[in-house]
Amino acid sequence: MTDTIKYTLPESAIPKHWYNLAADLPAPPPPVLHPGTLKPIGPDDLAPLFPLVLIQQEVSTEREIEIPGPVRDVYRQWRVTPLYRARRLEAALQTPARIYYKYEGVSPAGSHKPNTAVAQAFYNKEAGAKRIATETGAGQWGSSLAFAGAVFGLEVQVFMVRVSYNQKPYRRALMETYGARCIASPSSETQYGRSVLAEHPDSNGSLGIAISEAVEVAASCDDTKYALGSVLNHVLLHQTVIGQEAIAQLALADDYPDVVVGCTGGGSNFAGIAFPFIGEQLRGGKKVRVVAVEPAACPSLTRGRYAYDFGDTGHLTPLTKMHTLGSTFMPPGFHAGGLRYHGMAPLVSHIKELGLIEARAYPQTQCFEAGVTFARAEGIVPAPEANHAVKGAIDEALRCREEGVSRAILFNLCGHGHFDMQAYTDYFAGKLVDASYDEKELAMALAGLPSVAG
Amino acid sequence: MTDTIKYTLPESAIPKHWYNLAADLPAPPPPVLHPGTLKPIGPDDLAPLFPLVLIQQEVSTEREIEIPGPVRDVYRQWRVTPLYRARRLEAALQTPARIYYKYEGVSPAGSHKPNTAVAQAFYNKEAGAKRIATETGAGQWGSSLAFAGAVFGLEVQVFMVRVSYNQKPYRRALMETYGARCIASPSSETQYGRSVLAEHPDSNGSLGIAISEAVEVAASCDDTKYALGSVLNHVLLHQTVIGQEAIAQLALADDYPDVVVGCTGGGSNFAGIAFPFIGEQLRGGKKVRVVAVEPAACPSLTRGRYAYDFGDTGHLTPLTKMHTLGSTFMPPGFHAGGLRYHGMAPLVSHIKELGLIEARAYPQTQCFEAGVTFARAEGIVPAPEANHAVKGAIDEALRCREEGVSRAILFNLCGHGHFDMQAYTDYFAGKLVDASYDEKELAMALAGLPSVAG
């Protein structure tokens, strides 16, 4: 019996609360600072951007935060997501490892992003917002928020990084099918966008620029709020349904991971799978190695500095302490657009400093090679972002083979690659290159970090 | 409570047998004829193309045919597929109807096709085949067989209609990711392909031509068999897991459909959802209206003749009695490539003649309009093929509203549209046209039908 095994759970097993890692940490993360005063910000500072409930979640130290009924009702459409034992992959790798993966690609938008998009849309609707403005890179987040907006009857306005807007028309089409308005960024719709265009009329855009535009729209319109798809505490919180479900599903398999692997861009899918396991460990449970895998071309955790920085290029956001390559750092183009962000979630950065997680960086061709191996064994084609987690898990499994040890490896397969087949086409054609950033530019971006004590 | 409801079942509820409608029919379908002798064919005639077990299934009159363990093991990766009560769509349509849909897009290839691809790959592997040759239009079938071939360690060679090969590189990339070889048809790899190219060097190809090429390869190589993704009895048989699961899931909802709707190209997803319900009715169960929805641009059931015809353009296949537009009929281009076939499954055609099903044809723009309404309400973007079923179901639901009657409507959402976003882009840009065929060409194609008594 070498076939892939699925562990399912009934709808009643969908978590009733999100898990808040902050409750179990030995030390709290550093405060978020106001960009003007450099003093810790309060709820009022964020009120123009977010509904109060999300601001409260951002700073909460409660261990369990109840998932509202209407959010769980929408989750039920695709949750509990399957947990698989990758028996066919194990056979292909000839490894004694027990490889498990949690598959978030079954959501309507094809990734883990709806876990937080639905929650954010719900709270915004409750708070009386008419519209949400956001940014998107490759489009996974934008399409997920568009889906959630359609469900709750909210207008969604997405600033999409221009290079992706032009190169990835199908994610844009998905957003429009859900009824969202998608705008290439930098755009002429915001003051910041116009200032960028004035200086660089041919700007390809970046996530940092698109964030500035969306924040500006939200800050200047009474009926409009802002939503972010990763990085912030409340976003990571909403993703913890993934890990909580995985714990219950692994119990069905009578197993527990020795290693948990996730890919990291802003940090949300990684947090989703990892935080519940880290929490169990902090409360006296089994020690688990937790590995964050990031692209070598944008290596905030492995090459960035742990320092206060802005979340955007226009410096409209508060300052958070995180592993950052500098807000002016421009990563080279690569296919995992969802991982092209200069900073890492403050909470993920904090636990890296606490020694609770490891980090590793891989070039994209190695990740695609791993993704193709996975697809041929398991039948699911991963998104380029997810290929980083696949690569990390396969490396762990190969180490088990070398050492002749059977370990349980769990990774998060955060999305399918059906919108990303051009990347696979390029890979097979030998056109995929491992572009690297310019070390001098990185040094300059780091030198430009705001000088904040702490 | 207006939210979409999911009805799930545990893995143990995956059907243990396929349901064979032939066992319950009041009259058997007409025999399949040898193209040379015009006499009914025997198993030996098909042996070069198919393994014996599939030939036996093709002519079986057993009601239940056991699903082999290894096939069920692969099915378990995504089956039982969800059955949804479309409460959000009902609310959007303000209809008293109870709308249910069975969602086959959760399979690794994104459609219902793996239900038969896995079975066919298994039987071919068992019979000692090294390779399977097949054809594909839009690519749903080719990618599903590529997936199944990867699982069972079989080479897969796909002749892809040239126009799709060029226009839909992403389905091709999916096949290649699974390790299959994809060839634009007409190709220079077969005698028939070369003959077409000699006459029409710029030929766009067609399903009929691609079938001829794949059949030729299988007939001329000892280690190679042929596989078809629709039309044949055994293919329809394998799809009946859909309807069997739906019956069990509707029992959870304490409901039973008044109307069952499916889209039809070759007829396999329609048969998959409909045959188990028709079987219950034939055995004395509740009478159900069954509606086949086809594209107005390729209307075999509503405009074709019920007559003996070839399955391919090269006239290498046996003759089957079916609703056909003539094997030389070239439908105009439209986006539901999976529905662009000149003939209808003989078994579906037969029960149409027996009065067990209705048929309806819609132009594609109306289907896309319905698909967008569905996507905004339910969050799932349907494949263009599936939009025909969505349109059929929405029309039934609107009739319920007009009549003030609550009926239960079940339809098969046979695949997601993540590979078909160009069609949605064209729809939003107003570029989608309702091309119609030339009536004179249809008349000529029908006049060219082989003259066979019966």
The DSSP-derived string for A93-130 is HT---EEEEEE-TTSTTSBSTHHHHHHHHHHHHHTT-S
Residue contact B108–A177, C-beta within 8 A: no
Answer yes or no: are the C-beta atoms of A275 and A242 closer than 8 Å: no
Sheet containing B259-263, strands listed edge to edge, beginning at the edge strand earlier in sequence = B5-7, B83-85, B98-103, B408-413, B259-263, B289-295, B358-362
- Mutant choice from A1, A71, A76, A421 vs B, greatest count of B C-beta within 10 A: A421
Q: Which of A6, A174, A428 sits opposite B421 (nearest CB)?
A: A174
Residues 48-77 of B with CB under 8 A from A: 70, 73-74, 76-77
**How many independent structural domains does chain B possess?**
1
Nearest-Cα residue of chain A relative to residue B3:
A73
CA distance B66 to B50: 19
In a domain, A438, yes or no: yes
Q: Please, which residues have CB within 8 angstroms of residue B82's CB and are 6 or more apart in sequence?
A: B6, B7, B8, B102, B103, B106
Domain at B382, CATH number: 3.40.50.1100
Q: What is residue A120's predicted lDDT score, i.e. its pLDDT?
A: 98
Convert the pLDDT of each residue in B66-94 to its tens digit.
999 999 999 999 999 999 999 999 999 99
How much of chain A, in percent, has pLDDT values that exceed 70?
99
CA distance B139 to B40: 32
Convert the pLDDT of each residue in A194-245 to its tens digit.
999 999 999 989 888 999 999 999 999 999 999 999 999 999 999 999 999 9
Convert the pLDDT of each residue in A278-297 to its tens digit.
999 999 999 999 999 999 99
Joined together, the tokens standing for residue A443 give: 């040094």
Contact residues, chain A, for B418 at CB < 8 Å: 110, 170, 174, 416, 418-419
In a domain, A276, yes or no: yes
Q: What is residue A2's predicted lDDT score, i.e. its pLDDT?
A: 66
Convert the pLDDT of each residue in A373-388 to its tens digit.
999 999 999 999 999 9
Q: What is residue B2's predicted lDDT score, i.e. its pLDDT?
A: 66
Contact residues, chain B, for A74 at CB < 8 Å: 3-4
CA distance A293 to A279: 20
Burial classification of residue B10, based on how many CB atoms lie within 10 Å of its CB (0-12 exposed, 13-18 middle, 19 or more buried):
exposed
Answer yes or no: are the C-beta atoms of A9 and A249 closer than 8 Å: yes
Convert the pLDDT of each residue in B123-169 to its tens digit.
999 999 999 999 998 899 999 999 999 999 999 999 999 988 988 88
Quickly state the pLDDT bin for A1 (edges 50, 70, 90). very low
Residue contact B73–A108, C-beta within 8 A: no
Contact residues, chain A, for B151 at CB < 8 Å: 88, 379
Convert the pLDDT of each residue in B109-133 to its tens digit.
999 999 999 999 999 999 999 999 9
Look up the pTM and report it: 0.96
In a domain, B49, yes or no: no
Mean pLDDT of A170-181: 96
In a domain, B136, yes or no: no
Convert the pLDDT of each residue in A20-40 to its tens digit.
999 999 999 999 999 989 999
Q: Provide the domain limits for residue A375.
A: 5-14+66-110+234-447
Q: Which of B169, B379, B381 sits opposite A425 (nearest CB)?
A: B169
In a domain, A255, yes or no: yes
Q: Does B88 touch chain A (CB under 8 A)?
A: yes
As beta bridge partners, residue B264 has none
In a domain, B163, yes or no: no
Q: What is residue B1's predicted lDDT score, i.e. its pLDDT?
A: 45
Q: Does A425 touch chain B (CB under 8 A)?
A: yes
Convert the pLDDT of each residue in B362-398 to its tens digit.
999 999 999 999 999 999 999 999 999 999 999 999 9
Q: Does A188 touch chain B (CB under 8 A)?
A: no
Give yes or no for residue B438 having a pLDDT over 70. yes
In a domain, B254, yes or no: yes
Quickly state the pLDDT bin for B254 (edges 50, 70, 90). very high
ipTM over 0.90: yes
Convert the pLDDT of each residue in B264-301 to its tens digit.
999 999 999 999 999 999 999 999 999 999 999 999 99
In a domain, B53, yes or no: no
Quickly state the pLDDT bin for A454 (edges 50, 70, 90). low
Q: How many CB atoms lie within 10 A of CB A435?
A: 13
Joined together, the tokens standing for residue A429 give: 């054609």
DSSP 8-state symbol, A11: G
